[in-house]
Amino acid sequence: MTSTIGNKPTGNSPVDSILSYWKKHSKDILPPLIGILSFLAIWQLLSSTGITRLPGPLSVWTNERTRILLMYPFYDRGGLDKGLFWQTLASLMRVAQGYSLAAIVGISTGILVGTNPVIDKALDPIFQFLRMVAPLAWVPIALVALQQNQPAAIFVIFITCVWPILINTKEGVKQIPEDYNNVARVLQLTRKEYYINILFPSALPYIFTGLRIAIGLAWLAIIAAEIVMSGIVGIGFFIWDAYQQNYISEIILAVIYIGGVGLLLDRSVAWLQQAIIPGQK
């Protein structure tokens, strides 16, 4: 006589995986979750009691116009009437252009002045002076010089985020241990070999520090620039237009988009740094 014994299925079920993940990370998830929910609850309470005229967070869903924006971010009716996905994408495209240009100029110039003390002394006062100018102060200058909103916005991003990249790159180059330079001289490394084997590996943590600071500044700068520059598709102008029409709930939703995208940009540069320089935080 034979009998069959049912075998238990091997492998973890999705529920088991979720429970296992929760047990491991609950201490890291609960505090920020409680903090965020508490903040939203207090905000909603202050709004409901009339202490502040600012709509509560629930207005993002209860307001019909904002609910449509939330549920249909990809709509495009032409002109400036676009969903928040396209508004955000337009701003990100400007950021990508200005930030990329700033990275190229900042890293190359930082290496130049970092390896040449005389040039560093000559240009450092100019760099320190220009980096103190607020991003919005560059907007009218850019508009007068370039005559168009799009290149003016890209220039504002560039001039805002080039300085942290340049200065951090310069400091990274200057912090290369003298022993490394002595070894390069003994081995008679070519300039290309010196850059690849000594300069870039030593300066990369500083360069990425500048890049990470700059991506946040670039995102802040484009929002400010688009608020001032009228008639262009972008999340900044969307906020200003909503304010002009007193659609406060739309402003709140746009701010959520801005914060979320800014966080993703920062984490993306941090991930790239970790991928290129393992072990660096």
Q: Pick the residue with more confidence: 6 or 181?
A: 181
Domain presence at residue 7: no
Between the alpha carbon of residue 68 and those of residues 58, 84, 90, 185, 232, the distances in Å are 14, 10, 20, 65, 21
Domain presence at residue 8: no
Beta bridge partners of 46: none
Domain presence at residue 2: no
Domain presence at residue 22: no
Same domain, 42 and 115: no
Same domain, 38 and 106: no
Distance separating alpha carbons of residues 33 and 56, to the nearest angstrom: 18
Identify the band that residue 11 occupies on the pLDDT scale cut at 50, 70 and 90: low
CA torsion 49-54-58-63 (nearest 10°) is 120
Identify the band that residue 199 occupies on the pLDDT scale cut at 50, 70 and 90: confident
Residue 156 pLDDT exceeds 50: yes
Per the structure, the count of domains in the chain is 2
Same domain, 144 and 219: yes
Same domain, 116 and 42: no
Same domain, 34 and 116: no
Same domain, 195 and 134: yes
Domain presence at residue 19: no
CATH code at position 139? 1.10.3720.10
Identify the band that residue 281 occupies on the pLDDT scale cut at 50, 70 and 90: low
Distance separating alpha carbons of residues 223 and 258, to the nearest angstrom: 9
The pLDDT tens digits for 135-146 are: 888 888 888 888
Same domain, 34 and 103: no
Domain presence at residue 252: yes
Between the alpha carbon of residue 14 and those of residues 9, 11, 17, 18, the distances in Å are 13, 10, 5, 6
The pLDDT tens digits for 15-47 are: 777 777 777 777 777 887 888 888 888 888 888
Same domain, 167 and 210: yes
Domain presence at residue 158: yes
Same domain, 47 and 147: no
Domain that holds residue 37: 28-57
Same domain, 94 and 154: yes
Same domain, 88 and 190: yes
The whole model's pTM is what? Answer: 0.80
CB of 163 closer than 8 Å to CB of 134:
no
Same domain, 131 and 177: yes
Distance separating alpha carbons of residues 169 and 177, to the nearest angstrom: 15
